Structure 1
Amino acid sequence: MAEKLREYEGLAGRWHSLRDDWRARRDAWREENPAGFSGWFKEKCFPTGGGPELDYSHIYRRKTTRELVRVSAAVMGVEFSYAAETAFVSPTLLKIGVEHGRMTLVWALSPLIGFFLTPVLGSLSDGCRSRWGRRRPFVLLMSLGVVLGLILVPNGENWGYAMGDQRPPEANYHRISSHRTSARSGPIDFRENATARGAVINETFAYDDDGDDDDENLRSFVPYNNSHPWGVLFTILGTVLLDFDADACQSPARAYLLDVTVPEDHARGLSTFTVMAGLGGFLGYALGGINWDVTFIGEMLGGHVKAVFTLITFIFIGCVAATLTSFVEMPLDAVEARAADVRSYGALDRRDADADAPEEYAPFEEAPPEGVEASLTSYLTSIVYTPPSIRILCLTNLFCWMAHVCYSLYFTDFVGEAVFRGNPMAMEGSRSRELYESGVRFGCWGMSMYSLSCACYSTKIEKLIAKFGAKKVYVGGLLVYSTGMLLMAVTKHKVGVIVFSWTAGVMYSTLFTMPYLIIAHYHAKGTFETTASGEEKISTQIRGLGTDVALVSSMVFLAQFVLSVCMGAVVSAAGTTTAVVAVASALAFLGAVAATQVVYLDL
């Protein structure tokens, strides 16, 4: 008894000690930050002190893994939002009456805007003279767009009702819900193709209550006009904001990572960036797979879809906040003040490092041509006049993204039709429709495995580059994916869906890491091309790191636009969704061929 008493007192004592320690820390923090959390956040992200007198020694030292994780946290939040977007946007649009044919145009809006606007935003960040730095203002701006999109998509229909859209009549009917959405407003027409389009027409019809294909137990309903002009407008606006800003946010976030790390940390930083992206996708798909309808959270937030989007909104805000408060950027004015004799462009000018910066982490050399001002005009001009090394890198990334978009946007449909032999056009409740829905759910597990594979492979890619060289890793990663998709097209088996999806993770990690590592290497050496004899040639053109990162990143928009326009015709011509993975395999092979022509210097 005495021993138990002493044990209890020991636990209680430790608890009181921890509580007192927490209170002391809280009080000390409040004394140091009288403006509260909002004031701390503002000062942490955007210090009000002058440029040159602030301490920027943290920029010139090696970063710990924990610090790299924090700098990369924003992309994890982006991947969470991607998971919600790919899982729920299409069903949400179908629910409010947008047909499949028009939905293709919706998905084409964002890439059409992003392809032209993203490189411009990159140039603006290179020349940004904000006292908050060059990259974080753009990360914050794009993040606000993502948050607005996450709010609009699940609430667009209700906002439409508030603006005057006709509400569906109250009806009591048996329904089999889609695997991606927990509710469909209004009755369902079972005539040819009506369910697949999510359409409801204006006449009385009946529903088979017992779920089979006979005509017994039919129940009539009052029809209504399934037209939601305001709901469609809000939802499409949210979709475009979410899709564009999530893609566009990655460019300044990646440039910020490269800016605040020394060249020796670039490979490790980019691999950490990709690990965080893979984990975000894996957890995001898992979050969407939970049936929130049966939980108090789902009931409180208004259903499965709203619960997922609300949770991901808070997760996204937390991830972005972690990145924005990680390291203070050196404003462009401060860079120029510290190196008045040499103009800074692109990556942070580390030539004139702080006096206490270690010698072994001396800044890299980059020599802009004399007499040329690093202005916004020169950055914008560099988008059009790019060296061959950047052009071939863009072409390689275009093939890579086209191959990946084939998988990410159309893979679950391939599994539902080609692997499970289901039919999305069949009546809801029929055997063919159930097989298709089962296949789509199973395909989501494959996509979850690809995200996990991406995270795992990214932890090894730095070592692989050090051992085999960047060229072999780049080309090899694309060939692995090409082979995996080819085998998946040939086998069309459940096991292949899971096993070969791991090759998609290898590919995603490769395209997320390699082109940006190569760009950072170009800027670190101030070289973008070599002579005929293989010697490095000093660049005579001013180029910005943010501009080049955004230029290569913009290939994702072009890839998505091209596939949105062409893939439907390709599948129709082939007569099978197996064409999706077959095309992905072919495009990845073309990417591998293009990667053999990339200028790697000594990387």
Structure 2
Amino acid sequence: MALTAQWQGTPHVKGSSESMRMVLLTFSLIGLQFTWGTEMTYCTPYLLQLGLTKSKLSLVWIAGPLSGLIMQPIVGIMADKSTSEWGRRRPVMVVGTVIVSICLLVLGWTKEIVAAFVEEGELRREATIFLAVLSIYALDFAINAVQSSCRSLIVDTLPIPKQQLGSAWASRMVAVGHLIGYGAGALDLGSIFGTLIGDTQFKQLTVIAAVALIVAIGVTCWAVDERVLIARAEGGTDDGIVAVLVQIFKTTKNLPKRIQMICWIQFWSWIGWFPFLFYSTTWVGEIYLRYDASPEVKESKDPLSDIGRVGSMSLIVFSIVTFIGSITLPWMVKSPEDEKPEFTPRPPASIAPIVKTVVERKPSLLTAWTVSHLIFAGSMVFAPFVTSLRFATVLVAVCGIPWALACWAPFTFMGVEINKLGSSLPTSRRGSHQYQRVSDGAIEMSSEARNLEKTDESATGELAGIYLGILNLYTTLPQFIATGISMVVFTVLEPGKSPELAKDAHPDEHHSTEGYNGIAVCLFIGALCSVAAAVATQRFKNTA
């Protein structure tokens, strides 16, 4: 066994320009976010239509945090140790994509699958709900494995100076995926495809999402060549699942201070983001049906499609704002590495004073991240008082700005800190960590980038899987808290079945549509937690 890990090859991304290489490296996130968008837009009203109460529905959405809690760190650490000839991340991405695609199709055709085995009646309805929930759990577990590998691939491939650029491009791809997904949800797909890929909007979207994910993951896997781990460091044995869990626990317990602080920012932030991402479409749809819809719309035979389309329209605006923000904000804020510029810009003398003033007054990424938490809090604090579709849409749209930062900032700082850890360790100590720094482990963008072995800024990323997995722990644990909060809120405010969706339920099972909307109250509580995230971010800034 080698004293230090041994690697073969150099990370490389196809493409003739830096922008094209960044697009190809992060292209997989378009398919991921399309899939997430389909799930978040339609699965909540779909389960409500099947007769599930909101309090029970909150238990279903434990699938997301539970899968993230289990899958991302475990997949991350096991991929870190993989010696596959195809690389450490891409095999997981491919296998996970196949599983996600199957789960999407099963979810779309749940009723038909159950009907083939169970006779008409209450048992069929319960079996349909069970299979739908099971499909959601399996989908979430698989897609979290894919997402972990996609994010780790970016950190693995890029050197420290390119981490912010890579995270910014990832944020753009996330916004594009959301925009396409919500755009597809807002269209009347039946008029476009007929019954070729399904006889309902939901079925058609599951097919499109599966195809989009396969294409997006395929593009990134084709474009990126990973370096291959050919020999682990001394002591790097094939650990079982228990040893993996022990390592995750030990690493989490002894996180470097700055990484720990990033994780806590993520913790408070995601208590607010979880209800927004999973319930905002349904919330907007319910606001529409309560206050703005005509009597004919309220008696629609397909309220699922109505709520999905109305909610998708508001989230299209949200995605447009996110996309614009993900493009413009990186130019408007300072990179974490801006205090150490690699060259001195020399603008024309006539505009030099203006350029200098603009550059000096650009806020830092940490300042922008702090403000983004406050923008989200300032928007969602009004959620319980919304009584029109227009106001609800405005609030959702404004949240596109903080979401752009949420998809970008934490991964930028984690990427920088992870690579700093590797480059700051002497070679002998790196061996004790079961890894060896690869001096040329950087994306091949230019002759300057290819010569990074002459500097101390080359990418390491060997521990990217486990550290990003731990970051995900701090993303998923608050979702359990948010789920508990929503379950209590729904039990108190909306204990029965949804009158907007469960049309066939007995009136005694319906909750009242008067008073505060349960989802809105959950969004309000999330806004308060986002203020705590802003305070945590400010503390992190003061330690920089």
- TM-score, length of structure 1 as denominator length: 0.66
Percent identical among aligned pairs is 19
CA distance in 2, matches of 1:428, 1:105: 33
SS where residue 208 of structure 2 aligns? helix
**Do structure 1's residue 576 and structure 2's residue 516 form an aligned pair?**
yes
For structure 1, the residue ranges without an aligned partner over 5 or more in a row are 1-50, 168-223, 345-373, 530-537
Q: Quote the offset at 1:470 in angstroms.
A: 2.5
Describe the shift of the 1:496–1:488 C-alpha distance in structure 2 as closer, same or farther (beyond 3 A): farther
CA contact (8 A) 1:485 1:585 kept: yes
Q: What pairs with 1:178-577 in structure 2 (closer than 5 Å)? A: 224-225=121-122, 227-299=124-196, 301-333=198-230, 381-416=250-285, 421-422=290-291, 441-463=309-331, 464-466=333-335, 467-487=362-382, 489=384, 492-526=387-421, 542=433, 544-570=463-489, 576-577=516-517
Q: Quote the offset at 1:457 in angstroms.
A: 0.9
Q: Which moved more, 1:408-417 or 1:497-506?
A: 408-417
Q: Which moved more, 1:578-587 or 1:433-442?
A: 433-442
Q: Which moved more, 1:303-312 or 1:64-73?
A: 303-312
CA contact (8 A) 1:399 1:590 kept: yes
Higher relative contact order (CA 8 A, sep 6+): 2
Q: Quote the offset at 1:314 in angstroms.
A: 1.0
Describe the shift of the 1:572–1:268 C-alpha distance in structure 2 as closer, same or farther (beyond 3 A): same
Letter of the 1:453 counterpart = V
CA distance in 1, matches of 2:51, 2:385: 36
Superposed CA deviations along residues 152-192 of structure 1, whole A, max 9, x for unmatched, are 10122212122x2114xxxxxxxxxxxxxxxxxxxxxxxxx
Q: What pairs with 1:147-166 in structure 2 (closer than 5 Å)? A: 147-162=101-116, 164-166=117-119
SS where residue 459 of structure 1 aligns? helix
Describe the shift of the 1:138–1:599 C-alpha distance in structure 2 as closer, same or farther (beyond 3 A): farther
CA contact (8 A) 2:62 2:480 kept: yes
SS where residue 301 of structure 1 aligns? coil
Describe the shift of the 1:401–1:469 C-alpha distance in structure 2 as closer, same or farther (beyond 3 A): same
CA distance in 2, matches of 1:127, 1:385: 20
Describe the shift of the 1:147–1:419 C-alpha distance in structure 2 as closer, same or farther (beyond 3 A): closer
CA distance in 1, matches of 2:175, 2:154: 17
CA distance in 2, matches of 1:450, 1:100: 24
Q: Quote the offset at 1:280 in angstroms.
A: 0.7
Q: Quote the offset at 1:472 in angstroms.
A: 0.6
Partner residue of 2:456? none
CA distance in 1, matches of 2:490, 2:138: 29
CA contact (8 A) 1:146 1:245 kept: yes
SS where residue 61 of structure 2 aligns? helix
CA contact (8 A) 2:93 2:149 kept: yes
SS where residue 223 of structure 2 aligns? coil
Q: Quote the offset at 1:552 in angstroms.
A: 0.9
Q: Quote the offset at 1:433 in angstroms.
A: 12
CA contact (8 A) 1:298 1:304 kept: no
SS where residue 181 of structure 2 aligns? helix
| Runs of 4+ displaced beyond 6 Å | 59-63, 374-377, 431-440, 538-541
SS where residue 129 of structure 1 aligns? coil
CA contact (8 A) 2:46 2:304 kept: no
Q: Quote the offset at 1:527 in angstroms.
A: 7.8
Superposed CA deviations along residues 353-393 of structure 1, whole A, max 9, x for unmatched, are xxxxxxxxxxxxxxxxxxxxx99975663133323323322
Superposed CA deviations along residues 249-273 of structure 1, whole A, max 9, x for unmatched, are 2222111012112222211111111
Q: Quote the offset at 1:414 in angstroms.
A: 3.7
- The alignment yields a C-alpha RMSD, in angstroms, of 3.9
Partner residue of 1:122? 76
Superposed CA deviations along residues 221-245 of structure 1, whole A, max 9, x for unmatched, are xxx4463454334322211122233
SS where residue 381 of structure 2 aligns? helix
Q: Quote the offset at 1:423 in angstroms.
A: 11
Q: Quote the offset at 1:549 in angstroms.
A: 0.9
Describe the shift of the 1:506–1:600 C-alpha distance in structure 2 as closer, same or farther (beyond 3 A): farther
CA contact (8 A) 1:266 1:520 kept: yes
Q: Quote the offset at 1:415 in angstroms.
A: 3.5
Q: Quote the offset at 1:448 in angstroms.
A: 1.9
CA distance in 2, matches of 1:494, 1:91: 17
Q: Which moved more, 1:407-416 or 1:544-553?
A: 407-416
CA distance in 2, matches of 1:375, 1:119: 9
Q: How many equivalent pairs are there? A: 451
Letter of the 2:516 counterpart = T
CA distance in 1, matches of 2:262, 2:411: 10
